[in-house]
Amino acid sequence: MLKTIRIVAVALTVVIGGLGAWAWWQTQQRVTASGDGSGLVTNVSIGGPFTLTNHLGETVTDADFGDQLRLIYFGYTFCPDVCPTELGNISLALDELGDDLEHVTPVLITVDPERDTPEVLRDYVPLFHEKLVGLTGSREAIDDVARAYRVFYRRVEDPDYTYYLMDHTSFVYLMGPDGEFLSMYNYGTAPTEMANAIRHHIAG
Ligand code: NI
């Protein structure tokens, strides 16, 4: 009986994981370049309301960024390569904005809230940019906001180590002052390209 339950559980995990990957792949198929250099666009709805906790321990909602553009990235502090690289690119793009930086708030939303407490984020986000806001929350709240942004991730155990990693999609989302989706950028987009696209949206 126990064995049957275990087999069913494994089968369910495979099916659910497969569905997640399929949904993610479907989303990627609908991502196209905007044509005017402002970034990638998609006809899939992206974004939505959230209530999370920032790296200072304060409650933050999607409505708390005033008339700022929001540059949103999903990742986690334990990430060995992809997140530091992309957060570094974001930081370079922000530095290229000059005076336009005042119109943009960069945000890191963790997909690993179990390890990424506000305290951990508080030590991490200033390494990349003084304006970077780190957001965490309950596993449920993180799952909800990740789903709204079509972010796919999964926990990966490594039998050789005592820690785990998170596989995750790596897009940077540019959202408007009302939280509306403006465009997104692939992992590895050149900082200058991202800065130009942000300026394009600031100019309106
Ligand atoms: Ni990462």
Q: Residue 188 C-alpha to ligand 1 middle, in angstroms?
A: 12
C-alpha 18, offset from chain centre: 21
Q: What is the pLDDT of residues 88-146, one digit of tens each?
A: 999 999 999 999 999 999 999 999 999 999 999 999 999 999 999 999 999 999 999 99
Q: Residue 199 C-alpha to ligand 1 middle, in angstroms?
A: 26
Q: What is the pLDDT of residues 13-44, one digit of tens each?
A: 555 556 566 566 556 666 777 767 677 777 77
Tell me what pLDDT residue 7 has. 55
Q: Residue 41 C-alpha to ligand 1 middle, in angstroms?
A: 22
